[in-house]
A = this chain, B = another copy of it.
């Protein structure tokens, strides 16, 4: 096990009617900005419940945070908070809204150009407004971590920042809030969480036995509930477990003390940037091919994955690795998520522009060994045609 520090101060309030608890969780004199996405929280009544829980507090709203939240939009929220002297941010939505709220929290008190927050990957954040979230779309884990990904529209740049000052003070997780989500977003959420786990688990052995067992348990849970989660839209038990898995997949716990990969994410980001395919869907294209190309480097962990997650015990090692990769792709496909470029009408012509983008963004030494060169990335893309 590698040395690590683990510290996650976010309070999780989980279950039915959890929104009512907001009143006791916020100072009575808080001046609140509610940050919102595309309007679903307004339409389906969640915003109304949140406003009711906030009672007599000063509350303003900020609408329109995009699926890939932009600096340009968020800076308008920063101006509103500064102008109106608001002091508490409450993101109501999915990962994009919560990521956006984190940027606003850090940008409001930031001295100088707030884009520097992104350029420094969060290192220059010295203060942040307190923020909290009401999660309506389980997927990214943003509700219980201190990371945020922001896009600058003007320069088409997508950057991430991390800073412990932007952990949500609390996050409200009510599984019934997922009942109205489209199946596509549920499927995306399941794949997003699955790949988050894979990035922290399918690397090389360091005998983090607890971390491995937890990662395997989360994957097994997604496999057990995935297809039913799509079809049984108001099954509380399934949605509750999906929500808790997605949070646990990226709250620092399974990643503490083990190596991380994240190459699948980097290769996927470029597909989203050039072809506007949903983030999770790009991960489903990249991961099976990545495991195939990296089967030697990841050998011991993929064999463990084959055994413990998929119970594959027949055949020789190469066969078990092949089977595990095929089962992974079949799982994604069973959720209606394609695992090949061809499903999107894309062919070999896309590969060189993607590799060029990787190089342009400095993504030339990826993976847990930092040895995935552009040439290897090209092979991964090629394997996913």
Contacts and interface: CB of A to CB of B under 8 A. Distances in A.
Interface of A: 1-18, 170, 207-210, 213-214, 216-218, 220-221, 224-225, 237, 240-241, 244-245, 248, 253, 256-257
A5 B24 CA distance: 13
B14 A257 contact: yes
A154 to B, nearest CB: 38
B210 A256 contact: no
Contacts of A224: 209
Given A210-B218, A217-B210, A11 B6 contact: yes
Nearest to A144: B6
A1 B244 CA distance: 10
Q: Counting chain B CB atoms within 10 Å of each CB, which of A3, A18, A208, A216 scores highest?
A: A3
A2 B210 CA distance: 24
17 contacts: A1-B14, A1-B15, A3-B14, A3-B17, A4-B14, A5-B12, A7-B10, A7-B11, A12-B256, A209-B221, A209-B224, A209-B245, A210-B221, A213-B214, A213-B217, A214-B214, A253-B253
Taken together, the copies of this chain in the complex come to 2
Contacts of A248: 210
Contacts of A237: 1, 207
Contacts of A11: 5-7
Nearest to A25: B5
Nearest to A164: B11
Nearest to A16: B3
Contacts of A256: 12, 14
B207 A218 contact: no
A190 to B, nearest CB: 13
B241 A210 contact: yes
Nearest to A213: B217
Nearest to A21: B5
Q: Counting chain B CB atoms within 10 Å of each CB, which of A208, A240, A248 scores highest?
A: A240
A316 to B, nearest CB: 23
B225 A220 contact: no
Nearest to A212: B217
A341 B244 CA distance: 42
Contact of A220 (B14, B17, B18, B213): B213
A173 to B, nearest CB: 10
A308 to B, nearest CB: 10
Nearest to A15: B3
Q: Counting chain B CB atoms within 10 Å of each CB, which of A1, A10, A209, A245 scores highest?
A: A209
A13 B256 CA distance: 10
Given A1-B244, A14-B256, A214-B214, 13 more contacts: A1-B241, A4-B14, A4-B15, A6-B12, A7-B9, A7-B10, A207-B237, A210-B217, A210-B244, A213-B214, A217-B217, A240-B257, A244-B257
A119 B76 CA distance: 53
Nearest to A221: B209
The 6 A-B residue pairs whose C-beta atoms are closest, nearest first, are A213-B217, A3-B15, A7-B11, A207-B237, A1-B240, A6-B12
A83 B257 CA distance: 41
A318 to B, nearest CB: 25
A210 to B, nearest CB: 5
B16 A245 contact: no
Nearest to A206: B237
